[in-house]
Copies of this chain bind each other. A is one copy, B any other.
Amino acid sequence: MREPGKLLCEAAVIDIKWLNDSYYTLRFHSPEMALRSSPGQFVNLKLSNVKDLLLRRPMSIYRCGKKEGWLEFLLKIVGRGTRTFSHVQPGDEFGLLGPLGRGFDFDDVNDAILVVGGIGIAPLVFLAEEMHARNVNVRFVQGFVSQSEMCCAEELTPFVEELQIATDDGSYGFHGDVVGLLRELIRGKADLTGAEIFACGPNVMMRSLAELCVQENMKAQFSVEAHMACGFGVCVGCPVPLHNRSGYYLACTDGPVFRLGDIDFAD
């Protein structure tokens, strides 16, 4: 939201933790970056001295200890970069460029429902924490493929009113997708349909969530992904279609958080 300037610096890993088979967190000592970060923003990461990963990898800020001076990311192994990053040791240096992008806007929000699918949880834990600090009422709805993927419940409980979980395979909580679960939750509850939605997840989830919000006439903000080269508006490589498809926003500088109605999720 606010953009107090980005930093380009090196920072050492101070902790790496595995949450399940493919999710892990990397914590960095980076006091100045922590101070400047707000929920929904991201940092472009590069492992120093590794040559076979060319581009930096954009990662949402997952948690942030502004007082203690640390910044944490939640990564899911999906390809070369996230795999290589998973082999680091405390003490290894990364290059950090950030905080980047425009985060979530919750200045005038009293009630919020945070909706995430899979690794989409990464930016919303920080958001829940900051909302809590500003007395926003936070409900959290998580979707996972299966119980074995579940994570972050512990981190979230201090900040949320309610935490609901859906699994695609029914191995835990609601059997079905997270949008289905949300639909159940808000059915007929006027207090809930008055809340604003904050979401991050796979495109198919975001699309069906957007439809639900339109039906229910709810406001919503979405954190979207795009392939990026630079992360700061130079390469023009991260287009997000305008709602009417007449042009594109840039995910890295206009987003990654967009409002319902501004962009198009189709395809």
Contact = CB atoms under 8 A, between A and B. Distances in A.
Interface of A: 50-52
3 contacts: A50-B52, A51-B52, A52-B52
Contacts of A51: 52
Nearest to A49: B87
Contacts of A50: 52
Contacts of A52: 50-52
A106 B27 CA distance: 60
A23 B117 CA distance: 52
A50 B49 CA distance: 13
A50 B53 CA distance: 11
A26 B81 CA distance: 29
A52 B50 CA distance: 9
Pairs A-B, 3 closest by C-beta atoms: A52-B52, A51-B52, A50-B52
A48 to B, nearest CB: 13
A51 B51 CA distance: 9
Nearest to A87: B49
A33 B52 CA distance: 31
A50 B52 CA distance: 9
Nearest to A80: B51
A16 B50 CA distance: 22
A77 to B, nearest CB: 15
A120 to B, nearest CB: 29
Nearest to A52: B52
Nearest to A50: B52
A19 B178 CA distance: 60
A85 to B, nearest CB: 14
A43 B48 CA distance: 30
